[in-house]
Structure 1
Amino acid sequence: MTISALTAARAGLVSCGTCGLLAAPTSPAAPGHCPRCGARLAARRRGSVETTWALVIAAAICYVPANLLPVLGTTTLGSTEYDTIMGGVVFLFTSGSWPLALIVLIASVMVPLGKLLALAYLLITVQRGSVASNRERTRLYHLVVFIGRWSMLDVFVDTFTVALVQLSPLMSVQPGAGVVFFAAVVVLTMIAAESFDPRLIWDAGTETEPDVA
Protein backbone atom coordinates (compact mmCIF):
# COMPACT_ATOMS: atom_id res chain seq x y z
CA MET A 1 0.00 0.00 0.00
CA THR A 2 1.34 3.43 -0.91
CA ILE A 3 0.52 6.71 0.79
CA SER A 4 1.18 10.04 -0.90
CA ALA A 5 1.05 13.41 0.73
CA LEU A 6 -2.18 15.28 0.09
CA THR A 7 -1.70 18.88 -0.99
CA ALA A 8 -4.15 21.54 -2.11
CA ALA A 9 -2.98 21.09 -5.70
CA ARG A 10 -3.60 17.32 -5.56
CA ALA A 11 -7.00 17.95 -4.00
CA GLY A 12 -7.91 20.24 -6.89
CA LEU A 13 -8.04 23.39 -4.73
CA VAL A 14 -6.52 26.83 -5.25
CA SER A 15 -5.47 29.16 -2.43
CA CYS A 16 -6.42 32.82 -2.73
CA GLY A 17 -3.36 35.04 -2.94
CA THR A 18 -5.18 37.83 -1.05
CA CYS A 19 -6.95 36.21 1.90
CA GLY A 20 -5.49 32.68 1.80
CA LEU A 21 -8.82 30.87 1.47
CA LEU A 22 -8.74 27.44 -0.20
CA ALA A 23 -11.36 27.38 -2.92
CA ALA A 24 -12.45 25.04 -5.67
CA PRO A 25 -11.59 26.56 -9.08
CA THR A 26 -14.28 27.01 -11.68
CA SER A 27 -12.03 25.29 -14.24
CA PRO A 28 -8.27 24.64 -14.57
CA ALA A 29 -7.94 27.24 -17.32
CA ALA A 30 -10.05 29.89 -15.56
CA PRO A 31 -10.11 29.32 -11.77
CA GLY A 32 -12.55 32.20 -11.25
CA HIS A 33 -12.72 34.43 -8.16
CA CYS A 34 -12.37 33.91 -4.43
CA PRO A 35 -15.81 33.44 -2.80
CA ARG A 36 -14.68 35.33 0.33
CA CYS A 37 -12.79 38.42 -0.90
CA GLY A 38 -13.59 38.40 -4.63
CA ALA A 39 -9.94 38.40 -5.76
CA ARG A 40 -9.04 36.59 -8.96
CA LEU A 41 -7.78 33.07 -8.30
CA ALA A 42 -4.62 31.73 -9.91
CA ALA A 43 -2.99 28.35 -9.50
CA ARG A 44 0.43 30.04 -9.65
CA ARG A 45 1.55 33.61 -10.29
CA ARG A 46 2.76 33.84 -13.86
CA GLY A 47 6.44 34.76 -14.14
CA SER A 48 6.86 34.89 -10.36
CA VAL A 49 10.48 33.69 -10.26
CA GLU A 50 11.67 35.90 -13.14
CA THR A 51 9.94 39.00 -11.76
CA THR A 52 11.25 38.44 -8.25
CA TRP A 53 14.81 37.89 -9.51
CA ALA A 54 14.67 41.15 -11.50
CA LEU A 55 13.48 43.09 -8.45
CA VAL A 56 16.05 41.49 -6.13
CA ILE A 57 18.91 42.30 -8.51
CA ALA A 58 17.69 45.89 -8.90
CA ALA A 59 17.47 46.25 -5.11
CA ALA A 60 20.97 44.79 -4.68
CA ILE A 61 22.34 47.35 -7.14
CA CYS A 62 20.63 50.21 -5.26
CA TYR A 63 21.89 48.86 -1.93
CA VAL A 64 25.49 49.85 -2.76
CA PRO A 65 24.95 53.62 -3.31
CA ALA A 66 22.40 53.63 -0.48
CA ASN A 67 25.23 52.84 1.93
CA LEU A 68 28.02 54.76 0.20
CA LEU A 69 26.24 58.04 -0.55
CA PRO A 70 25.29 60.51 2.20
CA VAL A 71 21.76 60.31 3.51
CA LEU A 72 21.86 63.58 5.44
CA GLY A 73 23.62 66.93 5.03
CA THR A 74 23.89 69.31 7.99
CA THR A 75 24.77 72.96 7.38
CA THR A 76 26.01 74.96 10.38
CA LEU A 77 27.20 78.56 9.94
CA GLY A 78 28.08 77.97 6.31
CA SER A 79 29.87 74.65 6.90
CA THR A 80 28.19 71.50 5.57
CA GLU A 81 28.82 67.97 6.77
CA TYR A 82 27.44 64.85 5.08
CA ASP A 83 26.71 61.57 6.84
CA THR A 84 26.18 58.10 5.41
CA ILE A 85 24.09 55.47 7.21
CA MET A 86 27.15 53.88 8.79
CA GLY A 87 28.55 57.31 9.61
CA GLY A 88 25.36 58.06 11.52
CA VAL A 89 25.60 54.73 13.34
CA VAL A 90 29.19 55.48 14.38
CA PHE A 91 28.25 59.01 15.51
CA LEU A 92 25.36 57.74 17.62
CA PHE A 93 27.55 55.06 19.18
CA THR A 94 30.43 57.39 20.03
CA SER A 95 28.05 59.99 21.45
CA GLY A 96 26.66 57.45 23.92
CA SER A 97 23.37 56.64 22.16
CA TRP A 98 24.33 53.03 21.49
CA PRO A 99 20.74 51.66 21.71
CA LEU A 100 19.64 54.03 18.94
CA ALA A 101 22.80 53.22 16.97
CA LEU A 102 21.97 49.51 17.24
CA ILE A 103 18.39 50.09 16.08
CA VAL A 104 19.52 52.10 13.04
CA LEU A 105 22.20 49.49 12.22
CA ILE A 106 19.72 46.62 12.33
CA ALA A 107 16.82 48.39 10.58
CA SER A 108 18.82 50.27 7.95
CA VAL A 109 21.73 47.93 7.16
CA MET A 110 21.15 44.39 8.35
CA VAL A 111 17.43 44.05 7.62
CA PRO A 112 17.59 45.13 3.92
CA LEU A 113 20.65 42.91 3.37
CA GLY A 114 18.96 40.02 5.17
CA LYS A 115 15.86 40.40 3.00
CA LEU A 116 17.95 40.31 -0.17
CA LEU A 117 19.78 37.18 0.97
CA ALA A 118 16.55 35.49 2.09
CA LEU A 119 14.77 36.17 -1.19
CA ALA A 120 17.78 34.99 -3.18
CA TYR A 121 17.90 31.81 -1.07
CA LEU A 122 14.20 31.13 -1.66
CA LEU A 123 14.55 31.70 -5.41
CA ILE A 124 17.60 29.44 -5.72
CA THR A 125 16.03 26.60 -3.74
CA VAL A 126 12.82 26.83 -5.78
CA GLN A 127 14.72 26.75 -9.06
CA ARG A 128 16.84 23.81 -7.90
CA GLY A 129 13.70 21.90 -6.92
CA SER A 130 14.69 21.53 -3.28
CA VAL A 131 12.35 19.37 -1.18
CA ALA A 132 14.02 20.07 2.19
CA SER A 133 12.76 22.40 4.92
CA ASN A 134 9.61 23.47 3.11
CA ARG A 135 7.92 24.66 6.30
CA GLU A 136 10.99 26.61 7.42
CA ARG A 137 11.32 28.27 4.01
CA THR A 138 7.63 29.20 4.06
CA ARG A 139 8.07 30.76 7.51
CA LEU A 140 11.13 32.61 6.24
CA TYR A 141 9.09 34.06 3.37
CA HIS A 142 6.33 35.27 5.70
CA LEU A 143 8.98 36.80 8.00
CA VAL A 144 10.44 38.73 5.05
CA VAL A 145 6.98 40.06 4.19
CA PHE A 146 6.28 40.99 7.82
CA ILE A 147 9.48 42.95 8.49
CA GLY A 148 9.50 44.72 5.13
CA ARG A 149 7.71 47.83 6.37
CA TRP A 150 10.17 48.40 9.24
CA SER A 151 13.08 48.89 6.84
CA MET A 152 11.94 52.48 6.23
CA LEU A 153 13.16 53.58 9.67
CA ASP A 154 16.17 55.48 8.34
CA VAL A 155 14.03 57.33 5.79
CA PHE A 156 11.52 58.29 8.51
CA VAL A 157 14.31 59.56 10.79
CA ASP A 158 15.78 61.69 8.00
CA THR A 159 12.36 63.08 7.09
CA PHE A 160 11.55 64.11 10.66
CA THR A 161 15.02 65.59 11.13
CA VAL A 162 14.75 67.67 7.96
CA ALA A 163 11.29 68.90 8.98
CA LEU A 164 12.27 69.81 12.55
CA VAL A 165 15.78 71.23 12.16
CA GLN A 166 15.39 74.26 9.94
CA LEU A 167 17.06 77.22 11.68
CA SER A 168 18.44 79.04 8.63
CA PRO A 169 20.89 80.66 8.35
CA LEU A 170 22.31 79.21 11.58
CA MET A 171 21.51 75.58 10.89
CA SER A 172 19.65 73.52 8.32
CA VAL A 173 19.37 69.85 7.38
CA GLN A 174 18.81 68.46 3.91
CA PRO A 175 18.34 64.86 2.75
CA GLY A 176 21.16 63.32 0.73
CA ALA A 177 21.14 61.23 -2.42
CA GLY A 178 21.56 58.05 -0.39
CA VAL A 179 18.00 58.38 0.92
CA VAL A 180 16.60 57.95 -2.59
CA PHE A 181 18.56 54.74 -3.17
CA PHE A 182 17.73 53.45 0.30
CA ALA A 183 14.02 54.04 -0.26
CA ALA A 184 14.36 52.28 -3.61
CA VAL A 185 15.91 49.25 -1.88
CA VAL A 186 13.04 49.07 0.60
CA VAL A 187 10.32 49.46 -2.03
CA LEU A 188 11.92 47.00 -4.45
CA THR A 189 12.38 44.32 -1.79
CA MET A 190 8.79 44.77 -0.63
CA ILE A 191 7.50 44.37 -4.19
CA ALA A 192 9.85 41.41 -4.72
CA ALA A 193 8.46 39.66 -1.63
CA GLU A 194 4.91 40.24 -2.85
CA SER A 195 5.71 38.99 -6.37
CA PHE A 196 7.22 35.74 -5.09
CA ASP A 197 4.72 32.88 -4.99
CA PRO A 198 5.36 30.83 -1.80
CA ARG A 199 3.36 27.93 -3.25
CA LEU A 200 6.33 27.25 -5.52
CA ILE A 201 8.23 26.08 -2.44
CA TRP A 202 5.94 23.06 -2.18
CA ASP A 203 5.75 22.22 -5.88
CA ALA A 204 9.02 20.28 -6.00
CA GLY A 205 7.95 18.14 -3.07
CA THR A 206 4.62 17.44 -4.71
CA GLU A 207 6.24 16.37 -7.96
CA THR A 208 9.22 14.42 -6.63
CA GLU A 209 8.26 13.25 -3.15
CA PRO A 210 8.40 9.42 -3.12
CA ASP A 211 5.47 7.39 -1.95
CA VAL A 212 5.73 5.76 1.47
CA ALA A 213 5.16 2.02 1.41
Structure 2
Amino acid sequence: MTVLPPMVTADRVGLVACDHCGALSPRHPGRMTCPRCGGVLHRRKPDSLNRTWALLVAAIILYLPANLLPVMVTTSLFHKTHDTIISGVVYFWNTGSVGLAVLIFSFSILIPILKMGALGFLVVSVRHGSARTRRQRMVLFRIVEFVGRWSMLDVFVVALMAGLVRFHSLAMVEAGPGAAAFGAVVVLTMLASFSFDSRLIWDNDERCDER
Protein backbone atom coordinates (compact mmCIF):
# COMPACT_ATOMS: atom_id res chain seq x y z
CA MET A 1 0.00 0.00 0.00
CA THR A 2 1.43 3.36 -1.07
CA VAL A 3 1.59 6.01 1.61
CA LEU A 4 1.18 9.50 0.21
CA PRO A 5 3.45 12.22 1.61
CA PRO A 6 1.81 15.05 3.57
CA MET A 7 0.51 17.88 1.44
CA VAL A 8 2.83 20.86 1.24
CA THR A 9 1.12 23.98 2.55
CA ALA A 10 2.29 27.51 3.29
CA ASP A 11 1.99 26.83 7.01
CA ARG A 12 4.17 23.70 6.80
CA VAL A 13 7.02 25.57 5.11
CA GLY A 14 6.82 28.54 7.49
CA LEU A 15 4.96 31.04 5.32
CA VAL A 16 2.02 33.28 6.19
CA ALA A 17 -0.52 34.58 3.66
CA CYS A 18 -1.74 38.15 3.92
CA ASP A 19 -5.52 38.38 4.30
CA HIS A 20 -5.56 41.68 2.39
CA CYS A 21 -3.36 41.21 -0.69
CA GLY A 22 -2.54 37.46 -0.60
CA ALA A 23 1.25 37.91 -0.49
CA LEU A 24 3.28 35.16 1.21
CA SER A 25 5.81 36.16 3.87
CA PRO A 26 8.16 34.15 6.12
CA ARG A 27 6.72 33.46 9.57
CA HIS A 28 8.67 34.63 12.61
CA PRO A 29 7.91 35.26 16.29
CA GLY A 30 6.32 38.55 17.26
CA ARG A 31 4.18 40.98 15.33
CA MET A 32 4.36 40.48 11.58
CA THR A 33 3.39 42.93 8.84
CA CYS A 34 2.98 42.35 5.13
CA PRO A 35 5.90 43.83 3.15
CA ARG A 36 3.58 44.54 0.23
CA CYS A 37 0.56 46.30 1.78
CA GLY A 38 1.58 46.78 5.41
CA GLY A 39 -1.31 44.73 6.80
CA VAL A 40 -0.94 42.76 10.04
CA LEU A 41 -0.18 39.08 9.39
CA HIS A 42 -1.65 36.19 11.36
CA ARG A 43 -1.08 32.49 10.92
CA ARG A 44 -4.80 32.11 11.58
CA LYS A 45 -7.48 34.67 12.35
CA PRO A 46 -6.98 35.63 16.01
CA ASP A 47 -9.41 33.91 18.39
CA SER A 48 -11.43 32.76 15.39
CA LEU A 49 -13.56 30.10 17.06
CA ASN A 50 -14.39 32.14 20.15
CA ARG A 51 -15.37 35.17 18.09
CA THR A 52 -17.50 33.07 15.75
CA TRP A 53 -19.17 31.27 18.64
CA ALA A 54 -19.93 34.54 20.50
CA LEU A 55 -21.46 36.15 17.42
CA LEU A 56 -23.43 33.00 16.66
CA VAL A 57 -24.85 32.76 20.20
CA ALA A 58 -25.87 36.43 20.03
CA ALA A 59 -27.62 35.79 16.69
CA ILE A 60 -29.46 32.77 18.11
CA ILE A 61 -30.63 34.80 21.12
CA LEU A 62 -31.91 37.63 18.92
CA TYR A 63 -33.56 35.19 16.52
CA LEU A 64 -36.32 34.53 19.08
CA PRO A 65 -37.52 38.15 19.41
CA ALA A 66 -37.02 38.60 15.68
CA ASN A 67 -39.76 36.03 15.10
CA LEU A 68 -41.91 36.61 18.19
CA LEU A 69 -42.02 40.41 18.21
CA PRO A 70 -43.93 42.33 15.51
CA VAL A 71 -41.84 43.35 12.52
CA MET A 72 -44.47 45.81 11.38
CA VAL A 73 -47.38 47.70 12.89
CA THR A 74 -50.28 48.33 10.50
CA THR A 75 -52.63 51.19 11.29
CA SER A 76 -55.83 51.64 9.28
CA LEU A 77 -58.96 53.69 9.75
CA PHE A 78 -60.62 50.96 11.79
CA HIS A 79 -57.96 49.02 13.68
CA LYS A 80 -54.27 48.58 14.48
CA THR A 81 -52.51 45.25 13.99
CA HIS A 82 -49.10 43.91 14.96
CA ASP A 83 -47.67 41.38 12.51
CA THR A 84 -44.75 39.03 12.99
CA ILE A 85 -42.83 37.32 10.21
CA ILE A 86 -44.83 34.14 10.73
CA SER A 87 -48.15 35.96 10.62
CA GLY A 88 -47.00 37.65 7.40
CA VAL A 89 -46.32 34.24 5.88
CA VAL A 90 -49.78 33.08 6.92
CA TYR A 91 -51.33 36.26 5.54
CA PHE A 92 -49.85 35.88 2.07
CA TRP A 93 -50.62 32.16 2.05
CA ASN A 94 -54.29 32.74 2.88
CA THR A 95 -54.62 35.56 0.33
CA GLY A 96 -53.37 33.34 -2.49
CA SER A 97 -49.80 34.65 -2.76
CA VAL A 98 -48.29 31.21 -2.18
CA GLY A 99 -45.02 31.98 -3.96
CA LEU A 100 -44.43 35.09 -1.88
CA ALA A 101 -45.31 33.21 1.31
CA VAL A 102 -42.76 30.51 0.46
CA LEU A 103 -40.16 33.17 -0.39
CA ILE A 104 -40.61 34.96 2.94
CA PHE A 105 -40.58 31.68 4.88
CA SER A 106 -37.41 30.53 3.12
CA PHE A 107 -35.36 33.73 3.45
CA SER A 108 -36.64 34.91 6.83
CA ILE A 109 -37.09 31.65 8.78
CA LEU A 110 -35.58 28.58 7.10
CA ILE A 111 -32.29 29.94 5.72
CA PRO A 112 -31.24 31.77 8.92
CA ILE A 113 -31.84 28.57 10.94
CA LEU A 114 -29.81 26.48 8.49
CA LYS A 115 -27.03 29.08 8.37
CA MET A 116 -26.72 29.25 12.15
CA GLY A 117 -26.87 25.47 12.43
CA ALA A 118 -24.15 25.03 9.81
CA LEU A 119 -21.84 27.56 11.48
CA GLY A 120 -22.43 25.92 14.87
CA PHE A 121 -21.56 22.52 13.44
CA LEU A 122 -18.36 23.85 11.87
CA VAL A 123 -17.21 25.52 15.09
CA VAL A 124 -17.91 22.43 17.21
CA SER A 125 -16.23 20.04 14.75
CA VAL A 126 -13.09 22.19 14.55
CA ARG A 127 -12.96 22.82 18.30
CA HIS A 128 -13.03 19.07 18.98
CA GLY A 129 -10.32 18.41 16.40
CA SER A 130 -12.37 16.18 14.11
CA ALA A 131 -10.36 14.99 11.11
CA ARG A 132 -13.30 13.36 9.35
CA THR A 133 -15.28 14.74 6.41
CA ARG A 134 -12.96 17.71 6.04
CA ARG A 135 -13.78 18.15 2.38
CA GLN A 136 -17.52 17.98 3.05
CA ARG A 137 -17.20 20.56 5.83
CA MET A 138 -15.28 22.85 3.50
CA VAL A 139 -18.08 22.56 0.95
CA LEU A 140 -20.56 23.38 3.72
CA PHE A 141 -18.62 26.51 4.64
CA ARG A 142 -18.53 27.62 1.00
CA ILE A 143 -22.31 27.25 0.87
CA VAL A 144 -22.63 29.36 4.04
CA GLU A 145 -20.35 31.98 2.48
CA PHE A 146 -22.39 31.99 -0.72
CA VAL A 147 -25.64 32.39 1.21
CA GLY A 148 -24.03 35.14 3.27
CA ARG A 149 -23.56 37.24 0.14
CA TRP A 150 -27.34 37.34 -0.21
CA SER A 151 -28.09 37.82 3.49
CA MET A 152 -29.45 41.31 3.02
CA LEU A 153 -32.23 39.76 0.94
CA ASP A 154 -33.73 38.73 4.28
CA VAL A 155 -34.17 42.37 5.26
CA PHE A 156 -35.37 43.23 1.75
CA VAL A 157 -38.04 40.54 1.96
CA VAL A 158 -39.34 41.97 5.24
CA ALA A 159 -39.46 45.44 3.66
CA LEU A 160 -41.27 43.99 0.63
CA MET A 161 -43.79 42.33 2.91
CA ALA A 162 -44.48 45.64 4.66
CA GLY A 163 -44.87 47.44 1.32
CA LEU A 164 -47.29 44.88 -0.06
CA VAL A 165 -49.43 44.98 3.05
CA ARG A 166 -49.59 48.75 2.75
CA PHE A 167 -50.55 48.44 -0.92
CA HIS A 168 -53.31 45.91 -0.30
CA SER A 169 -54.83 47.51 2.77
CA LEU A 170 -54.08 51.20 2.09
CA ALA A 171 -52.86 51.49 5.67
CA MET A 172 -49.96 53.08 7.48
CA VAL A 173 -47.17 50.55 8.07
CA GLU A 174 -44.35 51.11 10.54
CA ALA A 175 -41.41 48.91 11.44
CA GLY A 176 -41.74 47.08 14.76
CA PRO A 177 -39.08 45.95 17.25
CA GLY A 178 -38.90 42.56 15.55
CA ALA A 179 -37.49 44.22 12.41
CA ALA A 180 -34.54 45.62 14.37
CA ALA A 181 -33.88 42.24 15.97
CA PHE A 182 -34.10 40.54 12.58
CA GLY A 183 -31.64 42.99 11.03
CA ALA A 184 -29.26 42.35 13.93
CA VAL A 185 -29.51 38.58 13.32
CA VAL A 186 -28.55 39.09 9.67
CA VAL A 187 -25.54 41.26 10.56
CA LEU A 188 -24.37 38.92 13.34
CA THR A 189 -24.52 35.82 11.13
CA MET A 190 -22.56 37.65 8.44
CA LEU A 191 -19.90 38.65 10.98
CA ALA A 192 -19.80 35.11 12.38
CA SER A 193 -19.18 33.69 8.91
CA PHE A 194 -16.44 36.26 8.30
CA SER A 195 -14.78 35.52 11.68
CA PHE A 196 -14.58 31.78 11.06
CA ASP A 197 -11.21 30.76 9.63
CA SER A 198 -11.84 27.84 7.28
CA ARG A 199 -8.13 26.93 7.36
CA LEU A 200 -8.71 25.53 10.84
CA ILE A 201 -10.63 22.68 9.19
CA TRP A 202 -7.40 21.48 7.57
CA ASP A 203 -5.12 21.94 10.56
CA ASN A 204 -3.79 19.08 12.63
CA ASP A 205 -6.08 17.53 15.22
CA GLU A 206 -4.32 19.15 18.15
CA ARG A 207 -5.63 22.54 19.14
CA CYS A 208 -3.63 25.53 18.01
CA ASP A 209 -2.98 28.61 20.06
CA GLU A 210 -4.85 30.72 17.52
CA ARG A 211 -8.09 28.91 18.28
Place the TM-score, normalised by the shorter chain, in its bin.
Answer: 0.7 to 0.9
Instruction: Report % sequence identity.
Output: 45
Counterpart for residue 10 of structure 1: 12
Counterpart for residue 200 of structure 1: 200
- Give distance in 2, aligned partners of 1:160 and 1:89: 12
Matched, 1:31 2:35: no
Per-residue Cα deviation, 1:135-174 (whole angstroms, up to 9, x for no partner): 222222232222124333343244466679879xx72111
- Give distance in 2, aligned partners of 1:14 and 1:135: 22
Q: TM-score, normalised by structure 2?
A: 0.84
Q: Trace 1:162-181 onto structure 2 (pairs within 5 A).
A: 171-181=171-181
Q: Which runs of 5+ in 2 are unaligned?
A: none
Q: How many residues align?
A: 203
Q: Trace 1:34-183 onto structure 2 (pairs within 5 A).
A: 35=36, 38-159=38-159, 171-183=171-183
Quote how far apart the aligned CAs of 1:197 are.
Answer: 1.2
- Give distance in 1, aligned partners of 2:87 and 2:163: 21
Kindly indicate whether the alpha-carbon contact (under 8 Å) linking 1:104 and 1:153 is maintained by their aligned counterparts in 2. no
Match of 2:40, SS? coil
Q: TM-score, normalised by structure 1?
A: 0.83
Kindly indicate whether the alpha-carbon contact (under 8 Å) linking 1:115 and 1:144 is maintained by their aligned counterparts in 2. yes
- Give distance in 2, aligned partners of 1:154 and 1:193: 16
Partner letter of residue 87 of structure 1?
S
Quote how far apart the aligned CAs of 1:101 are.
Answer: 1.2
Change (3 A) 1:93 1:160: closer
Kindly indicate whether the alpha-carbon contact (under 8 Å) linking 2:154 and 2:186 is maintained by their aligned counterparts in 1. no
Change (3 A) 1:199 1:154: closer
Match of 1:9, SS? coil
Partner letter of residue 122 of structure 1?
L
- Give distance in 1, aligned partners of 2:41 and 2:47: 15
Kindly indicate whether the alpha-carbon contact (under 8 Å) linking 2:72 and 2:83 is maintained by their aligned counterparts in 1. yes
Quote how far apart the aligned CAs of 1:70 are.
Answer: 1.0
- Give distance in 2, aligned partners of 1:10 and 1:79: 67
